[in-house]
A and B are shown apart, each in its own frame.
Chain A
Amino acid sequence: MAGLANVFGSGAMSNSMLEIENNNLMFVIGSNTTETHPIVGLKMKKAVKRGAKLIVADPRKINLVKFADLWLQQRPGTDVALLNTIMHVILREGLEDKEFIKNYTENFENFRGSLAEFTPEIGEKITGVPKEKIIKAALMYGEADKAGIYYTMGMTQHTHGTDNVYAVANLALMTGNLGKESAGVNPLRGQNNVQGASDMGCLPNVYPGYQKVDNLASKEKFEKEWGAKLSDKPGLTVTEITDAAINGSIKAVYIMGENPVLSDPDQSHTVKGLSSLDFLVVQDIFLTETAELADVVLPATCYAEKDGTFTNTERRVQRVRKAVEPPGDAKEDSWIITELSRRMGYEMTYHHIEDVAHETGRVWPAFSGITYNRIEKLGIQWPCPTKDHPGTSYLFKGGFPRGKGLFTSVNYKPSAELPDVEYPFILSTGRQLFQYHTGSMTRRTPAIETIAGQAYVEISPEDAEALGIKDGQVIRVSSRRGSIEIASKVSDRPLKGMVFIPFHFKEAAANVLTNTAVDPVCKIPELKVCAVRIEA
Chain B
Amino acid sequence: MSFKISIDGKTIDVVEGTTVLEAARKLNIDIPTLCHHPKLTPFGGCRLCIVDIKGIPRPVTSCTTPVSEGMEVTTSNPEIERLRKTILELILSDHPYECMTCERAGDCTLQELAYFYGIKDNRLTGERRLYSKRDGNPFIERELEKCIMCGKCVRVCDQVQGVSAIDFGYRGFDTKICTPFERNLDCEFCGQCVAVCPSGALTGKAWQQKGREIGVREVETTCSYCGCGCNLTLHVKGNEVIRIDSKEDTINEGWLCVKGRFSYSFINSPDRLTKPLIRIAPKESSEFGLRPMGVRSSEYNSAVGSQHSALFREASWDEALDYIAEKLKAIKEKHGPDAIAGLSSARCTNEENYLFQKFIRAAAGTNNIDHCARL
Interface residues of B in 1-57 (CB under 8 A from A): none
Residues of B within 8 A of A434 (CB): 189, 258-259
Main secondary structure, interface of A, reads mixed
User: Does A351 lie at the interface of the complex (its beta carbon under 8 Å from any beta carbon of B)?
Assistant: no
User: Does A474 lie at the interface of the complex (its beta carbon under 8 Å from any beta carbon of B)?
Assistant: yes
The distance in angstroms between the C-alpha atoms of A360 and B353, with both chains bound, is 11
Residues of A within 8 A of B226 (CB): 36-38, 190-192, 436
Max count, chain A CB within 10 A of own CB: residue among B219, B222, B227, B265:
B227
Q: How far is the CB of A369 from chain B (nearest CB, A)?
A: 15
Given A235-B341, A298-B276, A453-B296, also A318-B263 (CB < 8 A): no
Interface residues of B in 347-375 (CB under 8 A from A): 347-375
Q: How far is the CB of A446 from chain B (nearest CB, A)?
A: 6
B374 and A523 within 8 A (CB): yes
Residues of B within 8 A of A451 (CB): 137-139, 189
**15 A-B contacts (beta carbon < 8 Å):** A18-B251, A194-B372, A202-B353, A261-B288, A279-B327, A286-B273, A287-B304, A323-B241, A343-B324, A344-B325, A433-B258, A442-B259, A444-B301, A455-B293, A487-B293
Contact with B along A330-346 (1 / 0, CB 8 A): 11111011111101111
Q: How far is the CB of A207 from chain B (nearest CB, A)?
A: 8
Interface residues of A in 218-262 (CB under 8 A from B): 222, 226-231, 233-239, 241, 244, 249-258, 260-262
B274 and A329 within 8 A (CB): yes
A200 and B350 within 8 A (CB): yes
| 8 Å CB contact of B361 from A230, A292, A308, A436 | A230
User: Does B120 lie at the interface of the complex (its beta carbon under 8 Å from any beta carbon of A)?
Assistant: no
Interface residues of A in 384-427 (CB under 8 A from B): none
A524 and B372 within 8 A (CB): no
Residue of A nearest to B231 (CB): A318
Interface bracket on B: 35 or more
Main secondary structure, interface of B, reads mixed
B294 and A190 within 8 A (CB): no
Residues of A within 8 A of B338 (CB): 231, 233, 235, 249-250
User: Does A311 lie at the interface of the complex (its beta carbon under 8 Å from any beta carbon of B)?
Assistant: yes
Given A192-B226, A241-B370, A433-B258, also A254-B343 (CB < 8 A): yes
The distance in angstroms between the C-alpha atoms of A199 and B357, with both chains bound, is 11
**What 13 additional pairs, Cβ within 8 angstroms, besides A296-B279, A313-B228, A360-B354?**
A194-B227, A230-B365, A235-B370, A238-B343, A250-B341, A253-B343, A310-B350, A333-B348, A341-B359, A344-B364, A474-B293, A522-B374, A523-B374
Interface residues of A in 292-347 (CB under 8 A from B): 292-300, 302-306, 308-314, 316-325, 327-334, 336-341, 343-346
B359 and A237 within 8 A (CB): no
For the complex of A and B, the 4 pairs showing the least CB-CB separation, nearest first, are A312-B229, A328-B274, A257-B345, A308-B349
Interface bracket on A: 35 or more
The distance in angstroms between the C-alpha atoms of A305 and B321, with both chains bound, is 21
A379 and B229 within 8 A (CB): yes
Residues of A within 8 A of B315 (CB): 296
Residues of B within 8 A of A205 (CB): 367
Residues of B within 8 A of A198 (CB): 371, 373
User: Does B213 lie at the interface of the complex (its beta carbon under 8 Å from any beta carbon of A)?
Assistant: no
Residue of B nearest to A161 (CB): B374
User: Does A10 lie at the interface of the complex (its beta carbon under 8 Å from any beta carbon of B)?
Assistant: no
A254 and B342 within 8 A (CB): yes
User: Does A357 lie at the interface of the complex (its beta carbon under 8 Å from any beta carbon of B)?
Assistant: yes
B289 and A444 within 8 A (CB): no
B370 and A202 within 8 A (CB): yes
The distance in angstroms between the C-alpha atoms of A512 and B341, with both chains bound, is 24
A433 and B161 within 8 A (CB): no
Could you say which of B76-84, B121-129, B232-240 contacts chain A? Answer: B232-240
User: Does B160 lie at the interface of the complex (its beta carbon under 8 Å from any beta carbon of A)?
Assistant: yes
The distance in angstroms between the C-alpha atoms of A40 and B229, with both chains bound, is 10
The distance in angstroms between the C-alpha atoms of A67 and B158, with both chains bound, is 12
Max count, chain A CB within 10 A of own CB: residue among B234, B251, B286:
B251
Residue of B nearest to A443 (CB): B297
Residue of B nearest to A447 (CB): B138
Given A287-B308, A434-B259, A507-B295, also A251-B351 (CB < 8 A): no
User: Does A271 lie at the interface of the complex (its beta carbon under 8 Å from any beta carbon of B)?
Assistant: yes
Q: How far is the CB of B188 from chain A (nearest CB, A)?
A: 6
Given A194-B372, A197-B371, also A304-B221 (CB < 8 A): yes
B262 and A445 within 8 A (CB): yes
Given A252-B340, A434-B259, also A334-B351 (CB < 8 A): yes
User: Does B99 lie at the interface of the complex (its beta carbon under 8 Å from any beta carbon of A)?
Assistant: no
Given A199-B350, A507-B294, also A319-B220 (CB < 8 A): yes
Residues of B within 8 A of A325 (CB): 239
A191 and B227 within 8 A (CB): yes
Contact with B along A14-53 (1 / 0, CB 8 A): 0001100000000000000000111110100110010000
Residues of B within 8 A of A297 (CB): 273, 276-277, 312
User: Does A130 lie at the interface of the complex (its beta carbon under 8 Å from any beta carbon of B)?
Assistant: no
User: Does A195 lie at the interface of the complex (its beta carbon under 8 Å from any beta carbon of B)?
Assistant: yes
Given A202-B371, A324-B241, A450-B138, also A208-B357 (CB < 8 A): yes
User: Does A1 lie at the interface of the complex (its beta carbon under 8 Å from any beta carbon of B)?
Assistant: yes
The distance in angstroms between the C-alpha atoms of A230 and B230, with both chains bound, is 37
